[in-house]
C-alpha cells in the first residue's frame, strides 16, 4: 500500500531514519492526472531503486494562464489507485502552504534556454518549474529523478540546473509515450473535446514529416490549430500548438 506523506517534516524524518543508509531512493514528480506516460517513469523508477516516491502537486507558479491552472484535471482517487497498482512506496502530497511558505519570494531563474520555445510564449513558466523542482529535490533528496522527454526543454533545463547547483541527484530522461494514433500522452489530453481529440493526432503526424517547419505550421493552421512555434533546434524538432482551449507540446528527434 502506498503511504501518503503530506508534510516536509514527516518526510525528512523518514528520510533520515528508515531510508538512511544503503536504500536508494527514486523520485517521480508529477501534477497528477496520471497516465501511461507517468506509469513508464514510475516503472523505471521502481526498477532502478529500492524505494519509489511520487509527488502530486499542481504547481500554481508555472501557470501563466490562471484558467489553465483552474482547469487542470484533478483525479486524486484514480491517481492513488494507479500508484498502489504499481506498488509505489510513498506519495508526497503537500498543500501549497507547505511548499511555498515564502510565498514564492525566492525562485530559480535561467537566462538563456528558458527564454526560447515555450519560454517565449509562457512568461514565468520555467521559473515556476525550476523553483518547484528545486524545492522537491531538496525535500525528497533522491538518488535519481525521472522526467519525460515529451517536455524535453523542461528536462534539459532541470538537468542543467542540477549541474549548475551541484545537486547530488541523477536526472533520468524517459522516452515519450504515445497513443495509438501518435499523440503524445498528456494530462491535458483529457480536456480535449471528442472532435478536437480526433484532430489532435495531426500535430505529431505533421511534426514527424520531412517538411520544413514553415510548411508544417501552415498545414496545422489550415487544420484549425493555433501554432505558437514549430522549430528545429539541436537535432530536434519542437512544436507547441493550441487546439480549442488546450495547449499541446511535442518534440521529435531529427
In this structure, are 152 and 50 located in the same domain? Answer: yes
CB 26 within 8 A of CB 143: yes
- Rounded CA-CA distance 180/213 in Å is 24
- Chain centroid to CA 40: 13
Domain end point (choices 135, 152, 174): 174
Domain that holds residue 145: 3-174
In this structure, are 45 and 170 located in the same domain? Answer: yes
In this structure, are 84 and 127 located in the same domain? Answer: yes
Q: What is the CATH number of the domain that holds 225?
A: 3.30.1300.10
Distances, alpha carbon 62 to alpha carbons 3, 13, 58, 233, in Å: 27, 29, 9, 23
- Is 180 a member of any domain? no
Total tally of structural domains belonging to the chain: 2
Whole-angstrom Cα Rg for the chain = 18
Pair type for strands 144-148 and 170-174? parallel
Count CB-CB contacts under 10 A for residue 175: 12
In this structure, are 193 and 138 located in the same domain? Answer: no
| Residue 192: per-residue pLDDT | 97
Instruction: List active site positions.
Output: 38
- Is 182 a member of any domain? no
In this structure, are 208 and 131 located in the same domain? Answer: no
Domain end point (choices 141, 174, 207): 174
Q: Spell out the per-residue pLDDT of the chain, length 254, in tens.
A: 999 999 999 999 999 887 777 789 999 999 999 999 999 999 999 999 999 999 999 999 999 988 899 999 999 999 999 999 999 999 999 999 999 999 999 999 999 999 999 999 999 999 999 999 999 999 999 999 999 999 999 999 999 999 999 999 999 999 999 999 999 999 999 999 999 999 999 999 999 999 999 999 999 999 999 999 999 999 999 999 999 999 999 999 99
**Burial class (CB within 10 angstroms; exposed 0-12, middle 13-18, buried 19+) of 244:** middle
pTM exceeds cut of 0.85? yes
Q: What is the CATH number of the domain that holds 58?
A: 3.40.50.620
- Is 181 a member of any domain? no
The closest of 65, 64, 73 to 35, measured between CA atoms, is: 73
In this structure, are 116 and 32 located in the same domain? Answer: yes
| Residue 32: per-residue pLDDT | 97
In this structure, are 191 and 95 located in the same domain? Answer: no
In this structure, are 114 and 136 located in the same domain? Answer: yes
In this structure, are 127 and 239 located in the same domain? Answer: no
Distances, alpha carbon 136 to alpha carbons 28, 115, 175, 218, in Å: 10, 23, 22, 40
In this structure, are 11 and 73 located in the same domain? Answer: yes
In this structure, are 90 and 212 located in the same domain? Answer: no
| Residue 241: per-residue pLDDT | 98
| Residue 235: per-residue pLDDT | 95
| Residue 19: per-residue pLDDT | 79
Amino acid at each position: 500500500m502506498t503511504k501518503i506523506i503530506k508534510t516536509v517534516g514527516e518526510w525528512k524524518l523518514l528520510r533520515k531514519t528508515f531510508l538512511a543508509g544503503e536504500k536508494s531512493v527514486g523520485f517521480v514528480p508529477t501534477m497528477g492526472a496520471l497516465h501511461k506516460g507517468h506509469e513508464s517513469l514510475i516503472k523505471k523508477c521502481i526498477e532502478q531503486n529500492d524505494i519509489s516516491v511520487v509527488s502530486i502537486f499542481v504547481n500554481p507558479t508555472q501557470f501563466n494562464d490562471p484558467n489553465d491552472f483552474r482547469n487542470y484535471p484533478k483525479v486524486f482517487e484514480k491517481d492513488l489507485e494507479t500508484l498502489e497498482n504499481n506498488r509505489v512506496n510513498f506519495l508526497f502530497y503537500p498543500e501549497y502552504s507547505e511548499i511555498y511558505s515564502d510565498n514564492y519570494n525566492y525562485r530559480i531563474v535561467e537566462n538563456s534556454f528558458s527564454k526560447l520555445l515555450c519560454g517565449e510564449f509562457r512568461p514565468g513558466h520555467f521559473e515556476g518549474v525550476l523553483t518547484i523542482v528545486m524545492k522537491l529535490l531538496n525535500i525528497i533528496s533522491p538518488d535519481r529523478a525521472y522526467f519525460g522527454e515529451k517536455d524535453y526543454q523542461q528536462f534539459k533545463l532541470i538537468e542543467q540546473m542540477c549541474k549548475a547547483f551541484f545537486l547530488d541527484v541523477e536526472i533520468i530522461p524517459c522516452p515519450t509515450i504515445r497513443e495509438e494514433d501518435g499523440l503524445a500522452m498528456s494530462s491535458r489530453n483529457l480536456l480535449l473535446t471528442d472532435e478536437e481529440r480526433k484532430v489532435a493526432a495531426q500535430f505529431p503526424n505533421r511534426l514527424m514529416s520531412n517538411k520544413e517547419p514553415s510548411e508544417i505550421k501552415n498545414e496545422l493552421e489550415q487544420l484549425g490549430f493555433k501554432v505558437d512555434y514549430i522549430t528545429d533546434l539541436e537535432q530536434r524538432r519542437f512544436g507547441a500548438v493550441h487546439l480549442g482551449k488546450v495547449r499541446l507540446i511535442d518534440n521529435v528527434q531529427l
